[in-house]
Each structure stands twice: as structure tokens, then as C-alpha cells.
Amino acid sequence: MNRRVTGGRLVIASHNPGKVREIGELLAPFGVEAISSSALDLPEPEETGTTFAANAELKARAAATAAGLPALADDSGLAVDALGGDPGIYSARWAGPGKNFALAMAKVHAAMGEAADRTARFVCALALAWPDGHCETFEGTVEGAIVWPPQGARGFGYDPIFRPQGHAVTFGEMDPAAKHAISHRAAAFRLLVAACFTPKD
């Protein structure tokens, strides 16, 4: 039985402002006040999981326990087929301590070399945890291809080198509303919302 979220404050267990903003926009229709881990000065737990879902659960549980509020964590990344699924759960680490995604995108490009296979996907796992330890996890993906050079300045992370399947532009060029409709995060959100949220009147 899924547990419902009925308004009030919800911690977004992330210190990534782009991710917090995007999740906050997706939650807006549900009467939830989204507050980030950084706003509450919560520490970032070490991500020791071996899957997106495991890391999302780890972060959500840590934030829910520390804040005494329900917490939503996202673990997401880019999986490139020619790189055996890398950078995968290490997508943020490829950007280094300064979160330099221009550097991370260049690393992907260099690692791929002249590989003919440009297919890739974004994966998002969302974990919703309560202070009592209850946790639910949902996963979404979006298929696409790697392009070079980076195109567009919208979105964040690897968006400028990822062109979603069936589209002529990258996530970095796409209108935010259009991206929200098809992204890996949106796919995971649809599952989360159906299970745990009720739209406000």
C-alpha cells in the first residue's frame, strides 16, 4: 500500500540548485512546500550504493531522519552505451568537486572517441522517505543519443550533449516545459505522483 503525501513541507534531499528547482516545479501542482537540504543545512551523505535506486534511498532516508520531515531524493545520471553504461551513478563525480559539467561533457566526448554507437539514456530514481523509515522508490528513463559539441544553455548537467529520441534538439536547447514532459525525471515523477500525491483543488 502506497503512502500518500498530503501537503506540508517536503525536503528535497539535494544541494544541486538546478535539480531542486526542477523538482520544485514538478511538485508545484500538489500543494507541497519544497525545501532543499542546503536551506536546512543538512549534510550530504556519502553515496555508497551501487545503483541509482540505492543511492536515492540512502539520501532520502538520511534527510528525512535529520529533518523530521518527509524527504524526496533523486539519483540520476547519464548512461552511455559505448562506455559500458558510464558515467552512470558516477555522473556527478565526473564533473569533479567544482561540479564542472563542461569538463564532464568533455570527458564523455573524449572517452567515446570515434565510437559509432552514440546511444545513451538518462536514468532517474526517486525515493520518498518518511522519518519513521518508510520509503518508496520509482525509476524512469529517457532514451537518446550523445551529440558533440554541446548545444544549448538550458537545463543543467549533461543536458547540452543529450538529444532525446525523436527530437531534433538537445535537452540544453529544449524549452523547460517540453523537457519536463519527456525527461527521465518526469517519467519517474509520473510513477511517484500516481502512487503518493493528490493534486490540490
CA-based nearest residue to 199, from 53, 26, 39: 26
Give the separation between CA 134 and CA 61, rounded to whole angstroms.
8
Alpha carbons 183 and 141: distance in angstroms, whole number: 7
Is 175 among the residues known to form the active site? no
Look at residue 124 and give its three-state secondary structure.
strand
Query: Which of these is catalytic: 75, 81, 175, 201?
Result: 75
Report the candidate in 182, 105, 193, 173 with the shortest Cα–Cα distance to residue 142. Answer: 182
What is the SS3 assignment for 26? Answer: helix
The three cell numbers of residue 9 are: 513541507
* CA–CA distances in Å: residue 70 to residues 7, 20, 41, 59, 165: 11, 15, 16, 12, 34
Q: Strands 119-129 and 135-146: what pairing? A: antiparallel
- Closest by alpha carbon to 121, among 146, 104, 101, 151? 146
Residues annotated catalytic, as ranges: 75
